[in-house]
């Protein structure tokens, strides 16, 4: 029998991905202030990969402390372009500016995962993908955003490669699960190793 995984996130798609993989999941969103945590971590000039895993840890620990003995999963993704950390766009105009900024450039996506029990991190993992956006004409960006609408606001890069967003790219180095923010294979390997799921 599989152990129930507490997902420290309000993300419906992360929950769905885990359920689609055959896991039993209960979502308990973390109430941490991510930007405040990020500021504290970044004062030490943290690398994007380190920042992603530390944000995931902060989420998982905050929920785990209130769920004795439960296995809690935190996840976070950080986009870095030429050393600058970029966050989700608040509206479609910001999304347009984001895509113009990414046009013709290679950025990285760092996806961090942390498993906790009783308020302590017991496993940390980060996977990194390199994403090269092709040269995009401003008119094309406008047409693209008009066709996909506000769904892109859920993506830190203002694209979603599982849909028409794949057309924005020239080259991708990294696995699909890292790019969408939940490196499933390392997670499943660890859950089997600790006996949380059948293996």
Catalytic residues: 76
Rounded to 5°, the CA angle 181-177-75 comes to 30
Q: What is the DSSP string of 69-126?
A: T-EEEEEEEEEEETTEEE---SSHHHHHHHHHHHTT-EEEEEEEEEEEETTEEEEEEE
Tokens 């500016």 found at: 97
Report residue 108 CA to chain centroid gap. Answer: 12
What's the CA gap between 131 and 58, in Å, rounded?
A: 26
């Amino acid at each position: 029998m599989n152990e129930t995984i507490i997902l420290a996130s309000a993300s419906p798609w992360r929950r769905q991905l885990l359920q689609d993989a055959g896991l039993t999941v209960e979502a308990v969103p973390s109430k941490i202030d991510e930007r405040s945590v990020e500021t504290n971590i970044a004062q030490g000039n943290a690398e994007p990969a380190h920042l992603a895993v530390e944000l995931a840890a902060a989420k998982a620990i905050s929920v785990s402390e209130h769920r004795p003995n439960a296995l809690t999963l935190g996840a976070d993704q950080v986009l870095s372009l030429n050393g600058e950390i970029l966050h989700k766009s608040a509206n479609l105009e910001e999304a347009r500016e984001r895509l113009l900024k990414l046009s013709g450039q290679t950025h990285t996506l760092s996806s961090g995962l942390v498993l906790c029990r009783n308020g302590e991190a017991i496993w940390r993992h980060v996977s990194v993908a390199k994403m090269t956006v092709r040269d995009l004409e401003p008119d094309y960006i406008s047409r693209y955003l008009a066709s996909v609408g506000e769904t892109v606001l859920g993506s830190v890069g203002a694209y979603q490669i599982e849909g028409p967003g794949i057309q924005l790219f020239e080259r991708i180095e990294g696995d699909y699960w890292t790019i969408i923010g939940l490196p499933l294979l390392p997670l499943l390997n660890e859950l089997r190793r600790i006996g949380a799921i059948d293996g």
